[in-house]
Structure formats: C-alpha cells, structure tokens
Amino acid sequence: MDKNTYRKYYKEYSNKVILTKIILSIASNADNIIAAAFISSSVLASLALLMPLVIFIIAVSVMFSSGLGSYVGYYLGRGENEKANNLASYILLVIILMSIIIGSFISLYANNIASVLGAAGNYHLSATTYLRILGISFIPQIVSTILDKLIMNDGSPKFTFYVNVSTIIINLTLNLLFVIVFEMSVKGLAFATLISQLFHLGVNIYYFIYKSEVIKITKPSNHFIELKQIIYNGSSDFLSVFTDAIMVYIVNISILKFLPKNYLEPFATATIFTALITKVYVGSQVGLQPITSKFFGQEKFKELKDIFIYSLKRSLVYAIIIYTILIPISWLLLPFLLDSKALIPIAFKIFIGVGIAYISSCFGIQIILFFTSINRPIESLAIAIIRTLILIPLSSYTMIYLFGLNGIAIGFIIPELIITTVFFVFFRKTELVKYKL
C-alpha cells in the first residue's frame, strides 16, 4: 500500500476520532470552564481534585472498548460475524451491570471519595455535591463508550462523531442554562452532564435497533474466557489513559505538600488546554483500530508497521499545530478563568511547560494502543506499566519536590523521552509476522 491509502484511512477514521476526542475533551472540561468563569476558580480547583476519578472511569471504559473492539475487528476481518455479534452482546451485558455498580457506589460514598482525593474545607463541600450526581452519569457514559466502539466496527464512524458532537452541544447548553439562568451552581454542572450522557446512550441504542448493518445485539452465550482476555488485552489501554489520572493526582498531592495550596487553581486551569494535545495521539490510534485489527487478521504485517509510522508522523504535526494555536488562546482566556491576577502568569507557565511535555508523549501513548489493537497485551501491558506505574509517578513527585513549579513539566517529560528512545528501537526490530492472537 502507498501513502495515499494510509492517508485515506487516516482521513476516514483517525481524523474524525481525533476531532471527536478534542471536542469531548472540551465538553468534559465544560464543567471546569463554566465553573471558573461563572462561579469561582476555587470551585474549579474542587472539580480538578475529582479529575483522577473521572479519568479512571474513562480508562475503565477504554479498557473494555479497546479490548472488545480489537476482538470484534479481528473476527470481522476473518468473516466470523456471528461470533463477533455474540461476543459483543455478552460483553455489553457485563458492562451494563458493572457500570450500575460503579456509578451507585461513587454516588453513595461521594463524601469519602472526595476526601481520599484531597478535597478539604470549601473544596470538599463542592466536590461532594458534584460527585453525588456525577456518579449516576457514569452509568450511561460507560455503556455509551462501548457502543461507540461497536458502531465504529460496524463501519459508521460518522454516526459516532455526530452523536458525540450533539452530546457536547447539549451538555454545554444545559451547563449555561442551569448555572447562569437558574443559578444552580455545582448541581447545575452535574445535572447537565447526566442529561447529556443519557441522550448519548439513547441515540446509540437507536442505532442498534434501526441502523446497524453488520453488528447486531443478540441473546448472548457465555464468553467468560474471552472476557478475561479482553480485560487482559485492554488493561494496557486502561493504564495508558489512567496515566493522566496518576499525573493529575500526583501533581495535586505534590502541590498541596510542596507549594501554596492555591496553586491548584492555575494547574487546574492550565490542564484545560494541555489535555487537548494528548487527545490527538489517543484519537489517532483509536481511530485506526478497526483497520489495524483487520490488517492483523488478514496477516498484512508490513502494512501494520507502515500505517503506525504514518500515524506517528501525522499526529505529531497535529499536536504541534494545536499547541501553537493554544498559546495565544490560553493567554487571552486565563484572566477570565482565574479569580486572582497573580495566578495568571503561573498558569501560563504551567501550560507552556506541560504542553511541551505532552507533545513528547506521541510515541509513548500510541505504541500502547497499537499493540492492543493487534491483540498483543504482553508488549502493550509491559510498556504501560513501566510508563504509568513507575516512571511517571516517580519522576513527577521527585521533580516537583526538587524544582517546585518547574518540576511539573520536567517530571512529565523525562518518562516520555525514556519510553520513546527505548521502545522505538524495540519496535523497529519487532517482526509482527511472528505474532498470533
């Protein structure tokens, strides 16, 4: 295959998913943006303390969706449609039950969870109020993420894109309505999220009732063995996404320990912008997952490597462009998001440094997602564990302790440089032809 073919795949799949991820990131931060602009930056700090939990929920969703998506794509590539449908139906049933348990637990124990995440005083009151309602919204959110992946495997990435955009518009509109018009404060932010997620789930259900062509929801048989394999296969993707949760949590705790507590506000504000950069890399590989999984099923091993390298180059250019555009935008918007003028230059400095660090995560994020898409959990999980559970926490905490504010960016960039150097050499020597499902 030539570059035009890869460009076509990238345009059809990755471009839409990247845009969706960016829009979803803005939407997920809509609560934070509106909280800072129309309530207070201290409320923003309260919500930021909950961000590790929010990212954890996303990571769980990604774990199941990527693991299931890889299996379904593999079976469809081999023409085993009935097997793909039965497996998808079984996993969907498991996800529904699991999401109800997780959402209910978080809602019931919101007070304790907020304390564990570092919320105290006024931060704790806002965080608890928000989390009680948000916990319920996690139920439709998790299920919708799985359905989004199945819709993509069904060959309808445009449908997923439009549904996500519509969900974002509804969430943003309701946020503004509840907070500004009805003055519901933190409760309004949470209810807007809940309603928009219910809409997302409802439209996805409509798709599988009336529009799906290949993937059908059927009465499932037992696939417990495949469930364990899907969790195992998707666990590396869980860790790759959960990296953000660990980074945010480590920085939050480090700020409370080594820096003035009100530095939580500029860090939370800066992450509204920096989060957009990593979404490019995640969207690039997640978008190509149906293609890479089918290539693997069809034993097109050379094409697998070529399309991965193409994805790295293309997404890196996108990330640099987005970062460059965000520099003046962040500087203009920061005064509207922070209560104290003294915190504005601090937030901008954090954005500049952390943004550069996030750009360097191109290979580290995508290599994990790539190996998951071809059902190679061992390599994917090994890289994710080294990156997520060892290098990033150790580096972040140590660098903030040694260098204070500057240590935030330094702590992020060191692990990415190590991962890129070591595992790029590993990937170049890897012979994919030797791999089996």
pLDDT in tens, 413-426: 999 999 888 887 87
Give dist(CA 158, CA 11) in Å, integer.
12
Q: What is the pLDDT of residue 202?
A: 97
pLDDT above 90 (res 241)? no
- Give the count of domains, the chain: 1
pLDDT band at 130 (very low <50, low <70, confident <90, very high): very high
* DSSP-derived secondary structure letter, 300: -
| CB under 8 A, 24+ apart: contacts of 405-409 | 405/259, 405/263, 405/346, 405/349, 405/350, 406/353, 407/254, 408/251, 408/267, 408/350, 408/353, 408/354, 409/350, 409/352, 409/353, 409/354, 409/356, 409/357
What does the DSSP assignment read for 135-148? HHHHHHHHHHHHHH
The amino acid occupying position 284 is S
Q: Which domain holds residue 428?
A: 3-434
What 3-state class would DSSP assign to 376?
Answer: coil
Structure tokens at 357: 């660090």
Largest CA distance in the chain: 61
Residues 6 or more apart in contact with residue 125 via CB below 8 angstroms:
none
pLDDT above 60 (res 302)? yes
Enter the pTM of the model: 0.75
pLDDT band at 377 (very low <50, low <70, confident <90, very high): low
